[in-house]
Amino acid sequence: MNGLKKITRELESVEKKLKSPFRFFIKKWLIKKRTLLNRSLDLSLVDHISANNENFKKLVEENKQLLCNENIQFKVTSEGSSPWTYMTKRFEGRIHSNGFLYLQAKSNAIEFLEILSHFYPSKYIGTMTPLGLAEANAASTDFQIIGGRVPEVFRGQIDLNGKITFETTDSWFEIDGHIHVSKIIADPFKGNNHKRELFLRNRSEIRSSINNWKKQNIKF
């Protein structure tokens, strides 16, 4: 509970600053911080409300089960390049209202030595929440003697605890070694529309409970 109080106090402080006449100088930073605080608060509230509301807990547990799947295809939809980077270190994203997972590059590896451009990611490991929020970090790499390789397709899984893992299965050769993955799309439900719709319906109810808690406990 102390953790919740700390986050809510910080969130209230950010909201207050966003209403200040001097907000324009740090508006982007404040909005980014508000987003991060809301994400952290939502995750904390999933556990907090689950401990006090059996129906809410059932929805959370059901969403964990619905997300649990193997042999999921993660398809690269966009790439980027820079003379200073050689691979994507971290992805963040979420399941959108259409029930598909969209991941976007948030951090790229910096090339300190030329040889680094010959490495490319072979595996990512991260987490998926019952709300469909995901993040994944590069866990291992492979080496290409000449040029580099750019992942095109990954195969992975999500376990019952929300651990998400995906590995490069298809990639293409590029001579420069500075092209990296920018965006990925995946269907965690593997075409099962019943599971997809149930997950989205559950998430809507979970979010409604979280928003009600915020209205009752946070002063904006």
Structure tokens at 129: 């929440």
Looking at the fold, whether 121 and 187 belong to one and the same domain comes out as: yes
How many domains in the chain?
2
Looking at the fold, whether 102 and 180 belong to one and the same domain comes out as: yes
Provide the pLDDT confidence category of residue 154 given band limits of 50, 70 and 90: very high
Looking at the fold, whether 60 and 8 belong to one and the same domain comes out as: yes
Beta bridge partner(s), residue 157? 165
Compute the distance between CA of residue 156 and CA of residue 90 in angstroms, rounded to an integer.
Answer: 16
Instruction: Provide the domain limits for residue 117.
Output: 70-191
Average pLDDT, the chain: 86
* pLDDT tens digits, one per residue of 19-43: 777 666 677 888 888 888 888 899 9
Which has the closest alpha carbon to 189: 179, 178, 181, 200? 200
- pLDDT reported for residue 182: 87
Please list, residue by residue across 140-150, b when 16 or more beta carbons sit within 10 angstroms of its beta carbon and e when fewer do. ebeebeeebbb
DSSP H/E element including 212: helix 193-217
Looking at the fold, whether 87 and 173 belong to one and the same domain comes out as: yes
**Predicted TM-score (pTM) of this structure:** 0.84
Provide the pLDDT confidence category of residue 189 given band limits of 50, 70 and 90: very high
Q: Provide the sign of the torsion angle of the four alpha carbons 197, 36, 123, 103, taken in this order.
A: positive
Looking at the fold, whether 157 and 49 belong to one and the same domain comes out as: no
Place of tokens 């290409």: 144
Which has the higher per-residue pLDDT, 144 or 122?
122
Looking at the fold, whether 95 and 184 belong to one and the same domain comes out as: yes
Distance, C-alpha 137 to centroid of its chain: 10
Looking at the fold, whether 86 and 108 belong to one and the same domain comes out as: yes
Q: Collapse the DSSP code of 162 into the 3-class scheme (helix H, G, I; strand E, B; otherwise coil) and give the result.
A: coil
Looking at the fold, whether 118 and 104 belong to one and the same domain comes out as: yes
Looking at the fold, whether 74 and 177 belong to one and the same domain comes out as: yes
Looking at the fold, whether 110 and 37 belong to one and the same domain comes out as: no
Looking at the fold, whether 110 and 161 belong to one and the same domain comes out as: yes
Compute the distance between CA of residue 119 and CA of residue 29 in angstroms, rounded to an integer.
Answer: 33
Beta bridge partner(s), residue 72? 156
Looking at the fold, whether 102 and 170 belong to one and the same domain comes out as: yes
